Structure formats: C-alpha cells, structure tokens
Amino acid sequence: MSADGWSSVLVLGGIRSGKSAFAEALVADAPSVRYVATAAGGEDDPEWRGRIEAHQRRRPQSWSTEETGADPARLAEVLADAKPGETLLVDDLGGWVATLLDPAWQPNDDVATVVALAEAVRACAARVVVVSPEVGLSLVPTTPVGRAFADALGTANQALADACDRVAFVVAGRATWLKSAPDEPGIVTDVQAGEATAEATATAAPAARVTAAAARVTAATAAAPLTQQGPLDRQVPDDDDLSGIVIEPGMDLPLPDGDAGPDARDRLDRLDIAGAGIGALLEAVEFAAGTQGTATPRPWGPVRVLLLDGRHGGGVAAGTDAGDADRRAAQAEAGEGALARLAATADADIAVVRVPPSGAMEDGPVLDGAAVDAALQEGWNLAGAAAADGREALIIGACGTGTEGAATAVVAAITGAEPVAILPRVLVPGARYDDEAWMRRCGAVRDAMHRIRQQSRGAKDMLVQLGGADIAVATGAVLGAAARRMPVLLDGPVGIAAGLVARDLASQSRHWCLLADAGTDQLVRQGADVLGLTPVLELGLDLGEGANALAALPLLRTAIALAGALPVHPALLTAPGDGGLGADVAAENGPHEGGYRPGG
C-alpha cells in the first residue's frame, strides 16, 4: 500500500454518471498509466466504435493501452504481472462480465472466476483503479440474459468492493466515498457467503499500524513543473495527403473537440485553488482543451511566428517607410529588436516571409488569380513546415508597408463596416500621428470599395481585388494550420483579415484561431466579433503585429498549465461529514474531470 493509504479503488456509477472521468482523475498525476480496456466486439456497430475511438483520442498520450476483451481470464493475468510503481486503470468491469457470460466461455464456474479476479486485485503490486457500472438501482431486467448480467455484475462489484482499499460511487459527476479505509467492514457479500477462503481472508487481521504521536516536520520538496515534456500528438493526416490540396471555397477541414472545451470550463470550477478562478484566461483554457481534445490541456510547446513582409502600392502605403519595414525584417532575422527578444523568452522562432509586391487597390486588382493561388499554397506549405519542425502553434505577424490599409479594405468588404471607422491611425516615430497620411489611406480604401461595388465578394475575389500577397499567404497559413490541427494566434490587422478570408474558404478554420489580446485597433475588434473570437486579454498592447501575442503567451501557457495540472478540491470529492481521503489522497484525484467516456 502506498503512503497515502490506498493501492486499489473501485469506482461505481450508472450510465453517463461521470465515473470514468472520476477514475481518470484519480490516476492523472501518475507518471504513466496503463489503460486496461475490457470492451469486446462492436466492429459491426459504428456508433459503439465511435464512442470507443472518441475515448481513445481523449486519453493522455503518455498512457498505454492493453486490450483484454477477448479473454476474461486475461484481466487477472495483467493484474498479477503488474509491477510496483505501475498504475493500472481498468474500464470497465461491465465489459469483462459481458465477455465472461458469452456462450463461448460457458460452461464455466463464474463465481470462481470472480473470486480469482478479486484476489488478483487484492494481491496486485501496482496501483489499480477499477471502473464498474452499478446496475442494482435499475429495474429488474425482463430477459434471462439481462438478469444473468445484472446478477453477475452485482456479485463482481461486491467482491471487488471487498478487495479494494476504497470504493467511490459517482452520480451526476459527483462522487461519494462508500469505503474510505481498507479494513472498513461491509455486509457479507454473495461471494463471501459461498467461499470459505474469502471468509478467512476477511478475518485475517492486518498488521497493527503505528502512528507517531510526536509532531512531524515534512521536508520541503520541489513541486512538479507545470509544463509537460514531449510533443503534442495532433493526430494529423500524412503531409503527403495534404500536399495536393486545392484551396477552394467549401474546403472541409477538421473541427476541434466540441465537448472538451466545456468540460474544461466545468472542471475549472472545482480546482484546488485558494481563489475564485483564472478570470479572463478561461477563454485560453477552453480553446486549448478543444484543440487538444482533452479537458486537461497542456500548454503549447515551441511556436512559430510567421512575419510577413508585404508591400502594397498606392494610397494605403501613405505615411510608411519602406526602409523601416526592411529594418524590422532584418532585425527579426538577426535575433534583434522587440519581436526577437519576446520570441526568445517565449520558446518561439521567427520565419520572415518576403512576399511579392501588391498593386494599388484604388486603380485595379492588386494581384491576379494565379498569384493569389500561389500565395495561398505558400501559406499552406509554411504551416506544414512549422508542424514538421515540431512547432505546436502559429502566430501571424506583419511588418510591411500598406498592410493596415489592405487589411482594413478586406475587413470592411467582408463585414460591412465603414472603413473610416476601423482604419487605424498612422503612427510615426516619436509617438506622433500623421492624420494627413491617414486621410490618404481612407481615400484609397474608399475608392477601392467603390470600384468593386458591383463585383463578386468571394474569398479569393477579396484577395485579388484588395488583400494582396501577404494577406493571401496568411490565409493559406491559417487553413494549413487548421488542417494539421494546429492552433493559430491571430495578432493585428493582417491576421484578422486572413482569418475572415480563411473562414469564407473553410468555415471550420476560425475554430482553430485565438485572439490573445484585443490591442488598440477597432479593425481587430470588428473582425474578431464577426469571427466569433473573444479576446482573452484586454491589455491594450500595441507592440507590433506578432509581438503582442508573444508578450501574452507566457501568461496563457501558465493558465493552461494550471488548469491541466491541478487536482480537484478534496471537498468536492468527499461526502459531508466524511473524513474522506484526506489531503494526501486528494492529490491523487488528478487533473481530469468532466467529459463523456464510454461506460461512464
């Protein structure tokens, strides 16, 4: 038995009670877990296979899986072979009983098999958590097979409850402890009544415990780090399957997990923290949970900043200095300047992407169709390269000339906003504003909007007529990241414009985007509102596109790490008035709560 008082726990609960999620929470702090799956068959049942596959996707990648469904004797063998220091999660006993009653395994002494399993749990050298359905509260089944299953499962539950150190009963996602100590007596079980060996085991007195009366001083130890090692497994298709994709409206891209985000939100209410929660950072936790497919997400590892150096002609470039844009790009490549310094502290690298120049939007199309397709494909490939290099998220940034005016035109055309209301003011060195240059930009955007008033407003049309090469590359990167299940942190006008165009090419892409900080631009707020993105923070940062997200990234990572690593408060896992597991055992409750699991 471990120092905190238990080596085995039986978790009981009805259908969709949350018992599997609770069991996973008990072992989530273990360095590694062997998940013992007892379900058999289902090959001809797509709905059942879908449930199993969804369950598999939600398990932490560090867990291994062992299937025992084909042979009911295999489960006892797995328990007997387990080594000290291992942690096993058996889910669930109902599948094991169903296999035991299969005609292929009859005739059989089922009671003896149950006794053998209980003894295997009692003697197991590893930590064991067993999940089992509680069928005793429902109506008596009307069929012989149903009655046989209910009787056998009830007998097995009684035997396992006697063998385990602790027993929990889960209802509606809330756990009550039915047995909180290994030697706590219960009623005489069906198996005990028929088996003299079980009675002898029950009456065997355990060694007396010695409790120290003197006060103890616990040595201070370093807490486990919040960050987790190892890359995320995004379960993406082969890059060979993605390389030939044609980027067209109506693309079908994957969606994040629709249940994991709400499950993570619900779990945050029960975390073992002193205060009321993580505030606005909840948005980042829910986003990370959905994109990772787990209610206990881990913070992103290394990220890549795509710094787009685009040049726009005409009035939208009024007040900008091409030489200054060149200097910003050169600084990033040399590891200098604000963006590079922030990247160095945020485990990020920077890819400076120089794109072809775009024409004056007031005079005609800024690119032709072929150039737009090439730019989209380049962005798609840049996302693929980031994924291949082990990057776990993308940040879209820009440092060119005329980019804000081009993004304003795209956002206004897609959202119907008035350009004059969302065009950012023109900032020049010395923290001064050039309002004359701003008016020239307004005029260029106004003339371009007038020019295309009778033309198609499709996604690619927006890039041909207004957006240009940098926004097209950014759009392709958003789509490519979504296809590879990689989160994208939008930051500034170019990123927001690209997110809107990407949404019109593949509606699923917006669900892979996060806006870390609203910044100071009304353009960003307008686009984010149409995209359905809520800014995580309201810091009012204006460090430059890409730099704002990098500045906020450490705080986002910290919130996500806390949400995934902290256990549930022990008061929410014990019944009122019950001493329960105590603080030591509460730490074993681990990070994962909430979310449907097959059999749970």
Q: Provide the annotated active-site residues.
A: 545
Q: Which two tokens stand for residue 120?
A: 């295997």
Residue 481 to residue 510: CA distance in whole angstroms = 11
Residue 420 to residue 526: CA distance in whole angstroms = 13
What SS3 class is residue 488?
strand
DSSP letter at 418 equals -
**Sign of the dihedral through C-alpha 320, 404, 312, 395:** positive
Calculate the CA 462 to chain-centre distance.
33
DSSP letter at 70 equals T
Q: Which two tokens stand for residue 492?
A: 């500034």
What SS3 class is residue 185?
coil
CB atoms near residue 168 (< 10 Å):
25
Q: 192-195, long-range: CB within 8 Å, 24+ apart, which pairs?
A: 192/162, 194/111, 195/111, 195/115
Residue 284 to residue 282: CA distance in whole angstroms = 5
Residue 261 to residue 17: CA distance in whole angstroms = 19
Phi and psi at residue 537, in whole multiples of 5°? -120, 160
Residue 265 to residue 272: CA distance in whole angstroms = 14
Count, residues in the chain: 600
Closest CA to 510 of 537, 533, 477: 533
Asked whether 373 and 324 are in contact (CB, 8 A), the reply is no
Closest CA to 489 of 438, 441, 524: 524
Asked whether 591 and 296 are in contact (CB, 8 A), the reply is yes
Residue 132 to residue 31: CA distance in whole angstroms = 24
What SS3 class is residue 205?
coil
Closest CA to 598 of 157, 91, 45: 91
User: Tokens 């460090």 correspond to what residue?
Assistant: 543
User: Tokens 């631009």 correspond to what residue?
Assistant: 521
| Packing angle, helices 435-451 and 403-415, rounded to 10 | 40
Q: Which residues pair with 174 in a beta bridge?
A: 171
Q: What is the 3-state secondary structure (H, E, C) of 333-390?
A: HHCCHHHHHHHHHCCEEEEEEECCCECCCCCCCCCCHHHHHHHHHHHHHHHHHHHHCC
Residue 260 to residue 256: CA distance in whole angstroms = 9
Phi and psi at residue 24, in whole multiples of 5°? -65, -35
Phi and psi at residue 311, in whole multiples of 5°? -125, 120
Closest CA to 331 of 552, 494, 548, 547: 547
